[in-house]
Structure 1
């Protein structure tokens, strides 16, 4: 009589090393893609430091006056409830300066392109508007 060889049972072990590698990769990915600081409100000021030029009122001290709100959309700006094309930006910026408006809040809409925002900021800087704030209105 022959004896059948003993069947060895295979033991499967669960290795944690690949799981730990994936977890570290996910951690690094989310750390790099998340924003730590809120960039939705970015103050942009230009001009002379306080105490130089324009009497004693520089850009840092000009925050208490009236403010204008401009909403930038795809190829247009909504100011004062009216929609204007980007070609009207120099006239709008001059009107803000002539009205002694010390602040302009630029709100970006969902269809706003970076070039539209850059054109608005360029027109406000050219008109020497003392205090401009950029707000991302797409955050909800």
Structure 2
């Protein structure tokens, strides 16, 4: 990395060079990622970076599957299956509540504009009601100070 000594976020140093590159690119306003050949590609969007990461994860999964096949003993195969199952269960336990809460927040965010509109409508109605009450109050005060009001029959 050129020009960046290191990045510290919340008191913790990044755990990989790739993370440092990503953070440095974000700080510069662009993403820099490594191509499989080792050359860097500048100007990648975040979506492209995420797709690149997903491809990398798929490659790692493929590599793990090849390693699993390489083990011929039943014990190794069972251990691989147990580890894979544990990993899936942990990711499901973590992703499930995150997805649920994200959907809940999205629904709440969608209701905010309607609430704002009704609040503004209520505000304008209250202002109009206040004006009407002020005019009525002035009219009533005018009637109390009317000299003809004392001429009423008992």
Which TM class, normalised by the smaller chain length?
under 0.3
Q: Which has the larger radius of gyration?
A: 2
TM-score normalised by length of structure 2: 0.25
TM-score normalised by length of structure 1: 0.27
Q: Which structure shows the higher strand fraction?
A: 1
Higher relative contact order (CA 8 A, sep 6+): 1
